[in-house]
Amino acid sequence: MDKIKQNIDISIADLNAIARIGYWQLDTSSDTYLLDDISCEITQLPNGTTLSTKEKPPFCPTGNKWAVIQETLAKAIEQKSSFNHEVELFLSDGNSIWVLLIGKGNYDEGGNCVNVSGMVQDITIRKNSEIELFKKNEILNYTENKASLGHWKWDLKSNVITCSRNISRIIGSPDGEKITIEILTEGIHPGDKKQVQDHLKNSVESKTFTPLLHRYILEDGTERIIQVLGEPLFNKAEELTGFMCSSQDITAKKRFEDELFEKNKLFLTAQQKAHFGYWLWNLTTDLFSCSENMADALGFERNVEFTMSDLLKDIPQENQKDILDTLNKTIETKSFVEFTHPIYMHGELRHIKVTGEVYTDLEGNILTILGISQDITDQKNFENELISKNQLLGFAEQITKIGNWQWDLNTNKIKWSTNLYRIFEREDNLPIVFDIYYSYIHPEDRERVSAIIDTILESKDFERVIHRILLENGKIKTVELLAMAIRDQYGNAIEMLGTLQDVSEQRAEEMKFKGLLESAPNATLILDEGNIIQMINKQAERLFKYTPEELVGSNIDLLIPSRFDEKRAPLREAFYANPTVKTYDMGAGLHMLNKDGKEIPVQVTLGPLQIEGGLLLSVVIRDITEEKLHQENIIKAKEDLETLTQELTTQNHQLADFTQITSHNLRAPVSNLNSLLDIYKMMDNEEDQKELFKKFEIVIAHLTLTLNTLIEALTAKNHTSLERSEVSFGATLTKTKEIFTAEISNSKAIIKSNFAKVDSIRYHKIYLESIFQNLIGNALKYKSRERVPELEISSKIDNGKTILSFKDNGLGIDLEKHGHKIFGLNKVFHNHPEAKGIGLFMTKTQIEAMGGKITVSSKVDEGTTFNIHFI
């Protein structure tokens, strides 16, 4: 038995050596490690080596790694558990290995760790395989990410998809999580989803997977184009089990293809528009091929090679030798020599410019010559025309006393046209630099001209300046300089060019005209046809408070309020259609604006000024502020007179009405009193006389009431300026309801109000209370016996005016029968013991005294609505 055990131990030792598994033990009392021979071999330490926990061993050159091992072991001892730890060790021969450390503590009866036994295994091969696999996976993920590519596997049995990291990232699922086909296709563009679903269904049915293109919408809303390639997967029984697919974002590729297609189209269009084509001469075959555009121009069949003779056949005979000589020179020098030649194309003589490139092999032998032939006939004609026009320009400059110049800011050299030399009375073609030009500027103008040139160089692109020049013979001329800056891509001025015109004669005429303009008694503006102010006089400066520098060059719109724009346009058109001196009327009165924004009433006279350059417009402006003030005073006096006349007329009408009402309403009681008096005189019986006195009292009471009512009406009509205060509709209604408490309670009347839109008004308080009492009292008095009385009182705003409405459901009034007298004195329309015909009369009188009016609408047995229109 011992023999067998010994053999087993020997076998285990051999297996451990083969598997590179060693054993070690930690003595916790001495903090030392004992290593067996295999452990020493693995760590490249001498056999019998012991290690201290307090000193780092040779295979752990950094203390951190050894500390981590000790910490892991100490934690396992504390928790009385085994430990398993992988660590990279650095050997003395410069190589590194990965080992697996496994250990478990041995404890005494008191639970104290006596020692730790463990093993160490060399796992370098496995670890390197894992690291290599990890790196390959990372490279694959990186490659997929860079190539916008991902792969996925579809298991048909479980309907589960296994995705690569890049696919998981795109669809927003955790890396390594298995998903369904529905989740994978969730982000597909709605317009493509059915197509994809049908394709997957057909793939399963046909057991094949054809390439698929579809759109996919990312989480940020971006739309991408995806290409899917796939292969079916089968089991041993040749049954379809799923698909292995790759999805690639080909958006950029698709765009590139689209752009390339568009660029090819543009290139073809450019060839047509620029009239050029290219050709390739293969010197090995001595044959030519050319672009489609050139084949069409020469009348050749597209994509068919041709010979030199074919190429020369439409070129005039006298030019063919020059072309051949030039091509031979290109072959000799191996550098393309440009040339031009005439050719007949479709019966018309054209001029062709030929450029190209020579291509050689590594030994310098010419392989091909690429040429570009461009039709420059239009350019040739343009050059000829330009030469002709330059000659004409020279004549024009001489006649108009204009010259042109160019100033190279880098070299400080200036080029003058021939006529510019004439203006400066300087010999032609003498070198010019800026200092020479500057020396001619009049000393008093030099600082101003320098400042303007500096401004152009710094910020402006164009400027105009008039200055004087002092010639060598002492003559002084006035010139107008127009300058424009040419800038590079960084905005730096690199060149200036412009014109210079001798305007001495025009300046003299202008000064003469300026003198006449200043002598004008009214403000005057001179405008061009674009309404731009060219000149103003002192009177215009005083009227508008602008300086000439502020106004000259500005549009006259600056001085005219925009409300006159529509009226001005037709007047302006009419003037230019028939340019004569005319004073224009704007109807409501034209006003103009000064610098302070104040409007000035003006009268404007327009006149034409014909000059050599065209038509100018003279605008003479007269301030009519005082005239306008006098006119307004006259108009106000007229309006006041008309108002007074209207008031007197109204009062006369009211007096006539009052006289008629008085005579009508007093006649009956006075006549009644006279009759009673005659009866009294004939009576002898005292009892009869007492009875008659009672009738006297009744008649006198009626007469008194009538007189008081007429006096109140007359008083209301004569109160042209009644005191007004802010009065609340709601408060007035509340007070009125308190007055009619008994009537409202007995009749169970319902009174509704809505003053949400307007609740107060500036009015005579007593009048408003009287109006409420009369109209609410009437609604209660003339209620229908068939229904509970209801009264709705509301207010609103209509066209800025306040309207107060009283609507009841009472007996109503027959307006066809009584409408003309409804507001008359003592007019009643219902048999009611308390009806006197005074309330509506007083209400109307009071409302009209305040400047308002009252209207009524009514239907018998339905109700009545009174609307009061306040001012």
Per-residue pLDDT of 305-316, as tens digits, reads: 999 999 899 999
Q: How many residues are given for the chain?
A: 871
Which comes out higher in pLDDT, residue 858 or 687? 858
- Residue 657 has what pLDDT? 46
Lowest-confidence segment of 362-371, 397-406, 553-562, 724-733 by average pLDDT: 397-406
User: What's the average model confidence in pLDDT over 745-769?
Assistant: 91
> pLDDT-based confidence at 673, cuts 50/70/90?
low
Which DSSP symbol is given to 306?
Answer: B
pLDDT over 50 (residue 780): yes
Start-to-end C-alpha separation, the chain? 133
Q: Give me the amino acid identity at 474.
A: G
Percent helix, strand, coil in the chain, to 5, is 45, 30, 25
User: Measured between alpha carbons, how far is 566 from 585 in angstroms, rounded to an integer?
Assistant: 14
Q: Which residues contact 168 (CB under 8 A, 6 or more apart)?
A: 174, 175, 176, 177
Burial category of 461 from C-beta neighbours within 10 Å (exposed 0-12, middle 13-18, buried 19 and up): exposed
pLDDT over 70 (residue 466): yes
Alpha helices in 578-624 (DSSP H): none
- Residue 828 has what pLDDT? 60
Which comes out higher in pLDDT, residue 242 or 60? 242
Which comes out higher in pLDDT, residue 824 or 672? 824
Between the alpha carbon of residue 864 and those of residues 673, 802, 803, 815, 847, the distances in Å are 38, 20, 16, 10, 18
DSSP reduced 3-state for 85: strand
Q: Which residues contact 697 (CB under 8 A, 6 or more apart)?
A: none
pLDDT 10s digits, 94-110: 788 888 888 888 988 88
pLDDT 10s digits, 526-547: 888 888 998 898 888 999 999 9
> pLDDT-based confidence at 3, cuts 50/70/90?
low
| Spatial CA neighbour of 154 closest among 199, 213, 215 | 199
Lowest-confidence segment of 272-286, 573-587, 707-721, 809-823 by average pLDDT: 707-721
Q: Which residues contact 538 (CB under 8 A, 6 or more apart)?
A: 518
pLDDT over 60 (residue 832): no
- Residue 321 has what pLDDT? 93
User: What's the average model confidence in pLDDT over 762-789?
Assistant: 90
- Residue 322 has what pLDDT? 92
pLDDT over 70 (residue 358): yes
Q: Which domains, from first to last, does the chain contain?
A: 2-122 (3.30.450.20), 130-250 (3.30.450.20), 274-375 (3.30.450.20), 382-502 (3.30.450.20), 507-623 (3.30.450.20), 629-696 (no CATH), 719-869 (3.30.565.10)
pLDDT 10s digits, 159-206: 888 888 877 777 667 777 888 888 888 889 999 999 999 999 999 999
> Is-contact 103 109, C-beta < 8 A?
no
pLDDT 10s digits, 217-267: 887 888 888 889 999 999 988 999 999 998 888 887 778 777 766 666 666
Alpha helices in 299-340 (DSSP H): 308-312, 317-333
> pLDDT-based confidence at 388, cuts 50/70/90?
low
> pLDDT-based confidence at 369, cuts 50/70/90?
very high
DSSP reduced 3-state for 735: helix
pTM above 0.75, yes or no: no
Joined together, the tokens standing for residue 746 give 């007995």
pLDDT 10s digits, 434-457: 888 889 999 999 998 888 888 887
> Is-contact 43 59, C-beta < 8 A?
yes
pLDDT 10s digits, 68-79: 888 888 888 888
> Is-contact 501 402, C-beta < 8 A?
yes
User: Measured between alpha carbons, how far is 464 from 480 in angstroms, rounded to an integer?
Assistant: 7
Pairing assessment for the beta strands 287-290 and 276-282 based on DSSP bridges:
antiparallel
- Mark residue 31 as left, alpha or beta (left: phi above 0; alpha: psi -120 to 50; beta: remaining): left
User: What's the average model confidence in pLDDT over 449-468?
Assistant: 82
Joined together, the tokens standing for residue 322 give 């020059």
Q: Write down the mean pLDDT value for the chain.
A: 81
> Is-contact 26 118, C-beta < 8 A?
yes
Can you spell out the DSSP letters for 541-572?
HHHH---HHHHTTSBGGGGS-GGGHHHHHHHH
pLDDT 10s digits, 610-653: 776 678 888 899 888 887 787 777 677 677 667 666 655 555 54
pLDDT over 70 (residue 141): no
Half-sphere exposure in the Cβ direction for 598 (13 Å, CA): 10
* For helices 686-718 and 625-682, angle between their N-to-C axes, nearest 10 degrees: 180
> pLDDT-based confidence at 675, cuts 50/70/90?
low
> pLDDT-based confidence at 594, cuts 50/70/90?
very high
